[in-house]
Structure 1
Amino acid sequence: MPQSLARSLGFAPLVPLWVLVTLGILAVVLCAYALFRRTKGAFLRLAALLSVLVWLAGPQRLHESWHVLPETALLLVDQSPSMSVGQRAAIARQAASTLAQAHTDGLNLRTVTVRNSGHNGTRLFDALEQAAADVPPDQLAGVVMITDGQVADIPASVPDRLRPTTPDGKHLTLPLHVLLPAKGEETDRQLRILQAPPYAIVGQPAKLRVQVDDAGPGTTPGAQADVTLRVNGEDPVVIPVRTGSPQDISLPVPHPGQMLVSLSVAPLEGEVSQLNNQSVTHITGIRDRLRVLLISGTPNQGERVWRRLLKADPSVDLIHFTILRPPDKDDGTPLSDLALIAFPVRELFQDKIDQFDLIILDGFENRNILPHAYLNNIASFVRKGGGLLLTGGPEFVGPGTLQDTPVGDILPAHVPSEGGMVEQRFRPKLTAEGRRHPVTAALPGAPPQNSSADTAQTIPGQWGPWYRALKPDSTHGQTLMSGPDNAPLLVLDHVDQGRVALLLSDQIWLWSRGEGGGGPQAELLRRISHWLMKEPELEEEQLTAAIAGGELTVTRRSTADAAQKSVTVTPPGSPAISLALKPPAEDAGNKEDAAGLSVGRMQADKPGIWQVDDGTHKAFAAPVQPDPQEFADLRATATRISSVVSASGGGVFWSGDNSASPRVPSLRLADGSTQHGADWMGFPHRNAHVVTGKSATPLLPAWLMLGLSLCLLFAGWWREGRR
């Protein structure tokens, strides 16, 4: 066990302290009196008295025996995601193992592995602070970091943990050494999306702002680079940019719904990795304003329902007309006395009809209100991509109905004049197709599939009753709800590029009044309206894909009876593979809510755009990096951390790119100001120790002090006796 002696002076008085003080005062007084009397030899007598007092004070030499404590150096091993580039992680592990196995007398090495667990990049200095808190300040020798240099929390100066206070009140700077798993400074090219709007107006260009940066030896800003732009996997567009400066890119937004925009830049010669040469963003196309024309044939209970629903949507511009006095009604009132405005037929149905997205005819009976040409315009409006919603009542079975006009050619059902109106209590229910269609699937309070819709009593889980409906003799399209005797109640249909919805009853307003428990009137009408305006989330045939947590989830929705069994998945830069789809009943918990759905999952940890194809539809997905800062710069570089390393007196070392035998400097305890060399890392001697024992020996022997005192007294007498 190494030991050392530390000597210091102590006192063990032979008499009480007050006696020493009294004798000392007396000696001083006598000396002063002798000097006043000009007595010769006074100083020699005083010296003799003081020698006696010093001997009585018992001066001693104190001896301490102590044990030297080993010093501790922290070894922080970076295993963050950026260390996955090339062989960095393997080199770091091998270098850490080599350092841990090396033995240096008086030095212990404590290894701490640092993994990125947040979204703010690699934080090695936070890990240093936590690890150093467990080491006594007088035993900390310094720190070694094995990292690629991409550290997010580099301080402006040496951390306080590496500047401990010595016993004499001074600050000692401990070294910080850095070992980088590479041959030397590397180069890298990075593509960043500076600005990307989450939403964009359909028909107007969306503006992206991107920047390409080159970093590392031999790179210069202003070089030309080619950026490739793809939208939903379509044909690429190549855009030349200059590195080091922002570039604006205009992107057309042709339709509503989500757009997956991928950007990639041509690689830089010799760059370390191309992982950050690409980026992905999502932009959702939305309509600026949805213009809806609502025509109520006569004042009715459902008008307020429609107005409340459409006015509550801030994205809807509603134009509403109610026909209070049809042309064939003449009560003798002079026209000059009427307060009604003329119905702007020409303006609505010829001049501006193409400006609307949706036309709603609520209980509309023609009665020669619209000429034949304007009814043709409505049918043409639908065929060119517009939406038409009709709610039918008694006006559908009388003379002059819309069924007998050009509008009848686009209606999905025909109601006969004889027996076409049924007046009886019934409860609407979903058809099998309606349980799969997104317009009516999982509507709140939908009755179970096996329940009777015509029961008179109110049963939890059933919608409230209606009392009147139309009974068509023919339908085409998709029947989502049924009424009395299972007759079609809600029918949707595609007409060329447009869509038509027909509700064969005018009593949906009863649900808003809570009749028999009410029903999801507002939600149903909202879904029908947005389906007519081609809301992507309400399409009856959907294929969606999403990547989260390294897993690709593919969801297929269909109204077909037989669910699709598989889809084709094309990973980035890899051949296509088949992915099986299964009903999600086990995950959904409610079988009816999952009707029409099939789901497939697979691992997807490869960056880039993944394409999914079912033969008719395509979907795209891209993984989102959990910590973009970690992959912003993929170089192994000492430029960012070198200032702190230099200020601490540490060194920067490069281990090479061979994971089997990296170049690892040796560790040593070094005296002097230099703490590193070409192949070694040094740490200062802290001299930390614990005292194991104490002993004392008299500083002045009694015989020596007695002889000295007598000599001084004799000298004083001799001086006094001289003339």
Structure 2
Amino acid sequence: MTSGLALSFPTLGFAPLLPLWALGGIALLATALSVYGALRRAPGLLWRLGAILVLLLWLGGPRLLHPVFRPEPQDALLVVDHSPSMDLRGRASLADAIAARLKAEAARIPGLTLHVVTAQGGKGQGTRLFDAMDQADLPQGRFAGAILVTDGMDHDVPAALPPRFRAADGSTLPLHVLLTGKGEETDRRLTILQAPPFAIVGQTATVRVRIDDLGTSGSHSASLTIREGNAPPRTVTVRTGAPQDIPVPITRPGPMLVGLSVSPLDGEVSELNNRDVVRINGVRDRLKVLLVSGTPNQGERVWRSLLKSDPSVDLVHFTILRPPDKDDGTPLSDLALIPFPIKELFQDRIRQFDLIILDGFRNTGIVPLEYLENIADYVKGGGGLLLTAGPEFAEEGSLENTPLETVLPAHVPQGGVEIARFTAELTALGRRHPVTAGLPGAPQGSTPPGWGPWYRALRSDTHQGEVLMSGPQEMPLLVLNRVQKGRVALILSDQMWLWSRGEGGGGPQAELLRRLAHWLMKEPELEENQLQADIENGTLTVTRRSAGAEMPPAAIVTSPDGTRQPLALTRRGDGLYTGVLRADGSSGLPPGIWPYGIWTVRDGDLTAFAAPQASDPVERQDLRATAERLGPVARASGSAPLWISVATDTPALRQVAAGEAVRGSGWIGLPRRMARAAAELRPTALLPAWAAMAAALALLFIGWRREGRR
């Protein structure tokens, strides 16, 4: 096998016009005449002999036998870019039209098979055209080159021409790059350089961004707009090409979406990468909890163990071992080592606590009324108060007879203690409220809870707020209430510790107390009326939790481009409603190019935000059509990038001899390989008839002239 004719030479052969015996007879006759003429000294003898020899040579049919070469079967690759960026400006349809024309051209070339490979991209690693070529199944030793139809934005361009573009004889095989566009484009890009996943509530997080103007030179000014939840958007002026620090105040716990968008660049290819969303989760910094136990009791250890087991909680715990009016003769030196810091806790530092828990607390004069009023003001100002009430609530000295009465959600009359075995049950509201809904062992439908019994509860005569659990004779057992800016929870029994001991099977004591504490501290996921939104795999899921029994109205969904549409909700359980909506492609763009931004969902006074995760952030980094990336490897193969703005400009495809140019005006080429056809030769006459006759006549004429001079 060779790549040309230079390595094969013709051979000499004969195809006599007469049988060999006839040629031999003529030769003998010529020899005899020559001898006779020599004896007679005939003039012009040698010239006549030469004429006879020329005729004998012609009659012998001498010819050159040339080897025959035929085109070798060859395979070439046509890689068509179908990555998400190709859906901009009609690039994909243009690429398909170019590919169709090239396939038609290849079908007219004998021995050439054009294998078409589609590079989808959009899988988190960007466009990978060279990986697509590596996956192609081609016969060994028949590769003739490749044609890439793309916008030029490839993310696996090698530093040097791949080895497959080196032929066995050391020559370079062409890599033709056909770019869908009129020329180099520009694009403005917003990049999130650094964003904290978590930030402390009440502090300011810093988001570092950079705006780049791709395809341009120099630095420019741009306007960056920041959107933080329901707050009005704010705009700052930034310089392109340099990192910018954006302060973001963290105002509440839970997930927070910060939308960033930069003003467009004149003439840029797309504004899709001019925006992005930062997700920051607001967390509390070391929750400070004050636990005051009125008298030593069985539930005290439960509270302490629960709160101490949480590493994010700073617990301050005091137990009143003996009220001031009790005198049993015990020396003062033996009563306590640390005096109760009443003023420090209930006046100087009360605002520093996130939650105050009063467990079996009784007004025995140890806390002056002005400090109890401070607790009431603390709640009204936004604090959280949790009380567990035992018999002390129905006796003289009850907290109901103090300034705390203004924030208590229930009133227990004197002697309002119920001694009986009972099982706590969820109310209709409790089955819907996130504090108690779905508790382990909670009733499902008409099934009663599988919780252990309690033996004592308080009987209230009035209550306000929300009753989530009931006790004996359906009396309120767990009551929650909002008091101005703060919240209060009251458990009308001191028997919850029985669950932790496994009495009658126990109960979800730890989970219930955890939920109560977080509701009191206004954790968003425990709000009884809440709206949540989430986007995953291109689907927006809206979850609505309602404490009311009525069906909530349809939610209003606003997409990042400002389109508004209603979304009907479907009941999924007690107080739980959901709705789903496709969150991509509504602008005719595929999921990989859908304009990422913040979706807003509103239902009455409730608002939720959601943003999709970029399916292929690499693909969105640069949306230009450009020759910058593929140009070097194309030129290294002997070709060069070619811009095509309309399908009719598709270059013709042809085969060229090895070593010749592989591109020209209006065409691109693939090298032709030739192989010698076995047992097939092409003859060429060494002495044509006309030349033989002319030479013989000339020699006879010379001989005749010599004889005439004698």
Change (3 A) 1:222 1:549: same
Aligned with residue 150 of structure 2, among 147, 151, 158? 147
1:687 aligns with 2:692: no
> Aligned equivalents of 2:70 and 2:664: distance in 1?
30
Match of 1:511 in 2: 499
1:213 aligns with 2:202: no
1:494 aligns with 2:482: yes
CA shift for structure 1 position 286: 1.1
Aligned with residue 638 of structure 1, among 620, 623, 627? 627
Change (3 A) 1:670 1:327: same
> What is the TM-score normalised by the length of structure 2?
0.83
CA shift for structure 1 position 377: 0.3
> Aligned equivalents of 1:186 and 1:632: distance in 2?
14
Match of 2:612 in 1: 623
Code of the residue aligned with 2:399 in structure 1: it is L
> Aligned equivalents of 1:628 and 1:300: distance in 2?
58
Contiguous gaps of at least 5 residues in structure 2: 12-63, 585-593, 682-710
- 466-475 vs 374-383, which moves further: 466-475
Match of 1:409 in 2: 406
Aligned with residue 447 of structure 1, among 443, 446, 454? 443
Match of 1:54 in 2: none
1:247 aligns with 2:247: no
> Aligned equivalents of 2:335 and 2:303: distance in 1?
26
1:316 aligns with 2:313: yes
Q: 1:184-199, aligned counterparts within 5 Å?
A: 184-199=183-198
Q: Is the 8 A contact 1:293 1:320 kept in 2?
A: yes
Match of 1:40 in 2: none
- Structure 1, residues 285-316: CA drift from partner, whole Å, max 9, x if none? 11112100000111111111111111111111
Match of 1:664 in 2: 650
1:557 aligns with 2:562: no
Code of the residue aligned with 1:310 in structure 2: it is L
CA shift for structure 1 position 106: 3.4
SS of the equivalent of 1:85 reads: helix
Match of 2:514 in 1: 526
Change (3 A) 1:82 1:117: closer
Q: 1:11-160, aligned counterparts within 5 Å?
A: 68-102=71-105, 103-116=108-121, 118-131=123-136, 134-160=137-163
Aligned with residue 674 of structure 1, among 661, 664, 675? 661
> Aligned equivalents of 2:445 and 2:640: distance in 1?
75
> Aligned equivalents of 1:312 and 1:693: distance in 2?
92
Match of 1:601 in 2: 580
Code of the residue aligned with 1:297 in structure 2: it is G
> What is the TM-score normalised by the length of structure 1?
0.82
Aligned with residue 566 of structure 1, among 526, 529, 554? 554
Q: 1:184-333, aligned counterparts within 5 Å?
A: 184-216=183-215, 219-333=216-330
Contiguous gaps of at least 5 residues in structure 1: 11-60, 453-460, 585-593, 696-723
Match of 1:382 in 2: 379
CA shift for structure 1 position 100: 1.0
> Aligned equivalents of 2:334 and 2:142: distance in 1?
103
Change (3 A) 1:450 1:197: same
Code of the residue aligned with 2:492 in structure 1: it is L
Change (3 A) 1:120 1:85: same
> Aligned equivalents of 2:615 and 2:276: distance in 1?
13
CA shift for structure 1 position 65: 7.6
RMSD of Structure 2 on Structure 1 (CA): 2.2
> Aligned equivalents of 1:548 and 1:407: distance in 2?
47
Match of 1:53 in 2: none
Match of 2:640 in 1: 651
Code of the residue aligned with 2:196 in structure 1: it is P
Change (3 A) 1:693 1:423: farther
> Aligned equivalents of 2:460 and 2:368: distance in 1?
26
Q: Is the 8 A contact 1:107 1:669 kept in 2?
A: no
Q: Is the 8 A contact 1:77 1:147 kept in 2?
A: yes
- Structure 1, residues 638-678: CA drift from partner, whole Å, max 9, x if none? 1011111111112211111x4xx452111111123411113
CA shift for structure 1 position 451: 3.7
- 300-309 vs 268-277, which moves further: 300-309
CA shift for structure 1 position 406: 1.1
> Aligned equivalents of 1:140 and 1:178: distance in 2?
17
Q: Is the 8 A contact 1:222 1:243 kept in 2?
A: yes
Instruction: State the identity as a percent.
Output: 57
> Aligned equivalents of 1:693 and 1:518: distance in 2?
97
- Structure 1, residues 556-578: CA drift from partner, whole Å, max 9, x if none? 11100112030111222334221
> Aligned equivalents of 1:80 and 1:373: distance in 2?
71
Match of 2:524 in 1: 536
Match of 2:589 in 1: none
Q: Is the 8 A contact 1:357 1:387 kept in 2?
A: yes
Count how many residue pairs are aligned between Structure 1 and Structure 2.
613
